[in-house]
Amino acid sequence: MSNTSAIISKVWSYAHVLRDAGVGYGDYLEQLTYLLFLKMADEYSKPPYDRKLPIPEKYHWESLVSKKGAELESHYTELLRELSQAKGILGQIFTKSQNKIQDPAMLSRIIGMIDNENWSLMGTDVKGKIYEGLLEKNAEDVKSGAGQYFTPRSLIIAMVECIHPEPEKTICDPACGTGGFFLASYDFLSNPRNYSLNSGQKRFLKDRTFSGNEIVAGARRMCLMNMFLHNIGEIDGESYISPADSLISVPSERFDYVLTNPPFGKKSSMSFTNEEGEQEKEELVYNRQDFWATSSNKQLNFLQHIHTILKSDGCAAVVLPDNVLFEGGSGETVRKNLLATTDLHTILRLPTGIFYKQGVKANVLFFDNKPASKTPWTKDVWIYDFRTNIHFTLKEKTMKFQDLLDFIKCYNPENRQKRKETWSQDNPNGRWRKFSYEEIISRDKTNLDISWVKDESLADLDNLPDPDILANEIIENVEAGLEDFREIVVTINE
């Protein structure tokens, strides 16, 4: 479309105007989701599509376009309430929906903006660019807390490149947020440079490849819309994103690939009101017979769950915090079982300053599931240290996909058997190093938190990073320390 940039500019201008009026990016994004869905449903109900969609005539798109002022506001509020009761994707999109744009004139202008375009004819790249741009802006809004649902796009793409998913195989994200891993996988599989898909493979990619869980209604809504705008699934189909807690029960389905970044925060808990009417929190422990260890550590539970939902030859790439690599007790039990039952072949140590939640030191674990065996499947763990002496910030110096190209090259997706270390006795600061199963298992608590690259900031005070990067790293370290102290206090008070 020739006016692509004009549409993007217009969408953004309303975001800024509403922001000044107290409507945050998240609220604007939600309203845009509702309205876009209704407009596209209207377009699909007309020629050449002529599809019958489950939206009552009273709440069709024209009912919004034809009203103004207080009448529009009350009708829109009623529409949201009624459609939230619907079944399938329609109900999922409108779950717990509310009108957050209290100015009828502004609401009317946004409806007019959407009405002026034929969205069904617009390229998926255009629609996706508009929507993903808003998702990223929403993640930057620290107060909204939306950042915890947002994984850096560059990291997601790198993980997909390494996993190298194949056509007609299933992909799951048990904590899918706004769907970043699904979209990157879709782009990889539909890219002619990777595969030339036949009609059957294209149908499988659109309707049967992806499934996941997201318990937060707002994030799930944005995920469904994000995928729909990228031509994944059907507007009148069933939802492939479950609102259920993925950790609650033994899964009935197994998948070829799992790509995920489970929510930050070590402890799983639930809030309840006690007899005195006060709010209390209780640790949530998942008693799953298929888990290796019982724990209230959310990250360890997710790692165990991911192992259970993989097919016997399935592959996983998972973002997990440092504590999963070194924590004792149930953590050690989980690590030993993971090394024994899967091929935990790669760990990418991530730099700080790339997540919107500060204080997070994380890694990507890559492992392949294997059938039962008397001997451990993991022979060597390859570790890439992308943290020591690497400095990023969320705004001035963001991590780009190009920054991860050396890791992808070392990972060698085409043939992992031909990997070569860049570390050696002669090059002690090489970032790519192999550790045997025997070396790992002999470490205290089977600790996988391994680093060897010399920290230059400790040795060369004349070559320190920029002050803003240093300041952010100090904040990251303080936040991480505070989080650990909070866990200790919780444990003491139990």
Q: Which of 45-54, 245-254, 262-271 has the highest mean pLDDT?
A: 245-254
Burial of 337 per CB tally in 10 Å (0-12, 13-18, 19+): middle
245-493, what's its fold? Rossmann fold (3.40.50)
Q: Are the beta carbons of 27 and 6 closer than 8 angstroms?
A: no
Peptide bond into 321 cis (omega under 30): no
Nearest to 95, CA basis, from 107, 86, 106: 86
pLDDT at position 483 over 90: no
Residue 384 pairs with which residues in a beta bridge?
A: 348, 432
pLDDT at 492: 63
The helix, strand and coil proportions of the chain, stated in percent and rounded to the nearest 5, come to 45, 15, 40
Tell me: the pLDDT tens digits for 365-405?
A: 999 999 999 999 999 999 999 999 998 887 778 899 999 99
Nearest to 168, CA basis, from 229, 231, 234, 256: 256
Q: Are the beta carbons of 106 and 18 closer than 8 angstroms?
A: yes
Tell me: the pLDDT tens digits for 107-145?
A: 999 999 999 988 888 877 777 777 777 777 777 765 555
Write down the domain spans for the chain. Answer: 4-133, 245-493
Q: Are the beta carbons of 212 and 241 closer than 8 angstroms?
A: yes
- Tokens coding 180: 């970043």
* Helical segments of 191-277, H only: 199-207, 217-229
The pTM for the full model equals 0.85
Tell me: the pLDDT tens digits for 412-427?
A: 999 999 999 999 999 9
Tell me: the pLDDT tens digits for 31-48?
A: 988 998 899 889 988 888
Q: Are the beta carbons of 142 and 233 closer than 8 angstroms?
A: no
What class does CATH assign to 4-133? Answer: mainly alpha
Q: What is d(CA 411, CA 304) in angstroms, rounded to the nearest whole number?
A: 24
Could you tell me which residues come within 8 angstroms of residue 69 by beta carbon, excluding any fewer than 6 positions away?
A: 104, 105, 108
